[in-house]
Structure 1
Amino acid sequence: MTKRHVELPADAESGLDAFITEVDDRLASEEDTCAVVEDTLVDLHGDREAYERWQNGGDVSPAERVRLQGYDPCNSTLESEYYAEKDEAQFQRSKHLQWLWRQFDATPMADNVEFALRFRRMLADHLFADCGEDCRFFKGISVTYGHNIEIGDNVVIHDDVHLDDRGKLTIGDRVSISDGVHLYSHDHDIVDQTEVRNYHTIVDDDARVTYDAMVRAGCRVGKNAIVGARGVVQTDIPDHHIAVGMPAKSVKIKPGFEDEAMPVDGDDVNVNRQADRELEYELPDDLDQFDEFQRDLGPDRRRDR
């Protein structure tokens, strides 16, 4: 199926381009990112009058104050803020950009596809470690940090996808990620779930991960491979293979690629190489940590508290 080109009316196109260029230029400048995000969200939500009244000492209700303060990402917290091993310096900027991405998705303009795709594409240049050309990011995409994600050219990521980059996530050129997919780069110990291991997860060039599938941390979806709907990838998927099921297993090779792909019943098919992609990290010596579960792990697994 081929898609057609869609164009906005000239006046709408002019306004869209001017707004995205202004935000892009401000984010690329030395201006405080918090201030840029706050200004942008105030205007996108149509709250400039109430915001200026509040800033000038005018009366606002408690609910209004909470709403107006919420446009400033410095007044927000994200789940990933609690992760002890994160790079604090990188996270401070990526948190602000994440807040803009998420709160933009809460505006009516997020459903204007042409505008929203271009706005998120602009943000991706500032948020991700690397983002290629002509990528399309749809609504409801969430990330852990953002700064540990590398994305190639012509990638399409659809609605309600979670890109976990607590470790590292690499998505190659021309990849398609369907609605509801979860790509993970961290895993938990099965006894002590507070013990986290981070990995490098890879979705290689021309791969397709279809509806509601999950890729486990440290796995690789090979070049030109397909993960079927609701598949749970727990092992590497070889190049040109089609994998389906829970757990996802290679069941066939894409037609026309039989000479390039390893046999479906080969020794290197459905192999877990997670350990090869583990990323080591160190926690600060002065870390003030807490155990949110307070479970008795048994004498052989209990940590010194």
Structure 2
Amino acid sequence: MTKVHVSLPAEAERNVQAFIDEVDERLSSTEDTCEVVTETLVDLHGDRAAYERWQAGKDLSAAERVRLQGYDPCNATLESEYYAEKDEERYTESKYLQWLWRQFDATPMADNIHFALRFREMLADHLFADCGTNCRFFKGITFTYGHNISVGDNTVIHDDVHLDDRGKLTIGDRVSISDGVHLYSHDHDVVDQTEIRNFHTVVEDDARVTYDAMVRAGIRVGTNSVVGARSVVQGDVPAHHIVAGTPAKSIRVKPGWESVADPLEDSLVNRQDERELEYDLPDDLDAFDEFGRTLTPPDAPDAPEPDSNG
């Protein structure tokens, strides 16, 4: 192992831990989460003086008002807020915490590794369905909701990873997710892309998904396996195998694990249908198609006659 232990100076460490404990305690209390998020972001962005002037009803420029309002997650919308099948009750809370996570990453403190990793792990304890101990979450991680994610112990997720939990996403113990990886848990219909199917995607213990790889919804990445850089995984990865390519194929078994690994196959088996998650939409749903496309194929029996005027 090439890493060494690094720590902050004693005074910096005390201040860092005190701040994390304070936010953790407020999020664990009955205090309004929206208010906690707003005030935490105001302080992290060094905007307390302007915020207090605003609260006191003093004159501010339009830009200052927009900036200060932006710390409050109630004044923001996220892409996932538009998803019809979301759990409204759970989403309300997770949206606030997701806003804190994202806006924290916009502060200079997000690059202070010793502080930022611990701050995100504390947030993950509140946001995720389950988060183990000694997890390391780096900068630029995004997710759909957050509350459909479970992460085990001693797992590391690096920069600019997208954790799609529109369905459900389970990541095991001692997993390594490299920079730029996308783990999906939902798929779009090929004809009507507004039709969504959600799945349970699993990355098992000791697996490693390397740089810029993509794992399709409903796929299982097996124990102690490796997904090669920029691979597109469309079928289950057998335990102890190394897979690579587009689409990914098994290229070898990890040395020393041959006796417990499945034999090499020509292709990975897609078991997506076994992990589909059903959901219901409300009867009074005010739905809309943002694309407005014609969904009837020209060869369908009920296809409209072509326009004679071209």
- The alignment's TM-score, normalised by the length of structure 2, stands at 0.95
Tell me which residue corresponds to 2:132.
132
Alignment of 1:136-285 (within 5 A): 136-265=136-265, 270-285=268-283
Runs of 4+ in 1 over 2 A off after TM superposition: 299-302
CA distance in 2, matches of 1:265, 1:230: 21
- Residue by residue over 1:99-151, the C-alpha shift from the partner in whole angstroms, topping out at 9 and shown as x without a partner, is 00000000000000000000000000000000000000000000100000000
Tell me which residue corresponds to 2:21.
21
Identity across matched positions, percent: 75
Tell me which residue corresponds to 1:62.
62
- Residue by residue over 1:252-271, the C-alpha shift from the partner in whole angstroms, topping out at 9 and shown as x without a partner, is 100000000011038xx610
Q: Which runs of 5+ in 1 are unaligned?
A: none
Partner of 2:125, secondary structure, is helix
CA distance in 2, matches of 1:265, 1:177: 25
CA distance in 2, matches of 1:250, 1:19: 47
Tell me which residue corresponds to 1:288.
286
CA distance in 1, matches of 2:265, 2:169: 28
- 1:298 is displaced (CA, Å) by 1.0
- Residue by residue over 1:52-100, the C-alpha shift from the partner in whole angstroms, topping out at 9 and shown as x without a partner, is 0011011100000000000000101000000000000000000000000
Alignment of 1:14-163 (within 5 A): 14-163=14-163
CA distance in 1, matches of 2:201, 2:179: 19
Q: Which runs of 5+ in 2 are unaligned?
A: 303-310
- Counterpart code for 2:202: I
Distance change (3 Å), C-alpha of 1:298 and 1:264: same
Partner of 1:12, secondary structure, is helix
Distance change (3 Å), C-alpha of 1:235 and 1:8: same
Bigger Rg over Cα: 2
CA distance in 1, matches of 2:42, 2:296: 51
CA distance in 2, matches of 1:274, 1:199: 7
- 1:3 is displaced (CA, Å) by 1.2
Tell me which residue corresponds to 1:297.
295
Counting matched residue pairs gives 300
CA distance in 2, matches of 1:32, 1:281: 29
Partner of 1:202, secondary structure, is strand
- Counterpart code for 1:272: N
Partner of 1:199, secondary structure, is strand
Partner of 1:46, secondary structure, is coil
- Counterpart code for 1:218: G
- Counterpart code for 1:64: E
- Residue by residue over 1:233-265, the C-alpha shift from the partner in whole angstroms, topping out at 9 and shown as x without a partner, is 000000000000001111110000000001103
- 1:301 is displaced (CA, Å) by 10
CA distance in 2, matches of 1:2, 1:144: 34
Partner of 1:22, secondary structure, is helix
CA distance in 2, matches of 1:34, 1:278: 33
CA distance in 2, matches of 1:297, 1:37: 42
- Residue by residue over 1:155-199, the C-alpha shift from the partner in whole angstroms, topping out at 9 and shown as x without a partner, is 000000000000000000000000000000000000100000000
Partner of 1:86, secondary structure, is coil
Partner of 2:20, secondary structure, is helix
Tell me which residue corresponds to 2:4.
4
